[in-house]
Structure 1
């Protein structure tokens, strides 16, 4: 059965930990444990980009689970098409999308006109086989 959850966050320093906590809570509720660390780390990178580079306002995190595919989306009003950086050994940032590329099973950017974009990641995952509301023995 498809599931989804969403929450809006302000464009503020504390928003990234709040977004991580939101996703962690959703994944715990859905009993997704096999890819939860990867998903939370990727969300952290995408939310950081939304806070640093997004335009006015905040950002929206949407999470969906359907047929063993977990999708995490970050919507913001910022312009541009994010791409993995080419940081040098001495650079202290610019590795976020490289991390996302290495952990997620897929990721991409969907532009919205006249402004904004959605940056998404997908993970193949094992959904719990225990029906909702049933306590396993």
Structure 2
């Protein structure tokens, strides 16, 4: 069974925190006990990049989480032009570490160029399920 939850957020800085909270709440509802910190952190980084570089003024972005068997996939979709650049940042760089950290923490990481915008995703292998968790079918 695949579970999916998604939510749209305005292209504002406060949405980064809201996206991280959405991811944490979703993981809690699904009963995923391990990798939660990594998933919340990566959701924050992907959302921050969407807000800072991907969302045109007045537009929003979407965060979607999917869980199937032992994999959680986080996707952040925005409608802005261009694709993110990843790579190891220079030692003295003051920015550019976010996507590198995501690529290091996630088991898989990628970008899908869309007709309008892009989807940046990260996938995490999760093996621990919290006892007594409620799995809520039909979340969307």
Q: 1:129 to 1:24 in 2, by over 3 A?
A: closer
| Residue equivalent to 2:117 | 116
CA-CA distance at 1:23 after TM superposition: 0.4
**Structure 1 residues 40-49 or 86-95, which shifts more?**
86-95
CA distance in 2, matches of 1:74, 1:64: 12
2:64 aligned counterpart, secondary structure: strand
Deviations 1:41-89 (A, max 9, x none): 1111110100001132110000000011100000000111212145322
2:28 aligned counterpart, secondary structure: helix
| Residue equivalent to 2:78 | 76
1:78 aligned counterpart, secondary structure: coil
**Higher normalized contact order (CA 8 Å, seq sep 6+, divided by chain length):** 2
Q: Which consecutive aligned stretches of 4+ in structure 1 deviate over 2 angstroms post-superposition?
A: 85-90, 127-134
| Residue equivalent to 1:93 | 95
2:72 touches 2:126 (CA, 8 Å); kept in 1? yes
2:33 touches 2:130 (CA, 8 Å); kept in 1? no
| Residue equivalent to 2:48 | 48
Q: What runs of 5+ residues in structure 1 fail to find an aligned partner?
A: none
CA distance in 2, matches of 1:104, 1:72: 10
| Residue equivalent to 2:3 | 3
2:65 aligned counterpart, secondary structure: strand
Q: TM-score, normalised by structure 2?
A: 0.87
Q: What runs of 5+ residues in structure 2 fail to find an aligned partner?
A: 136-140
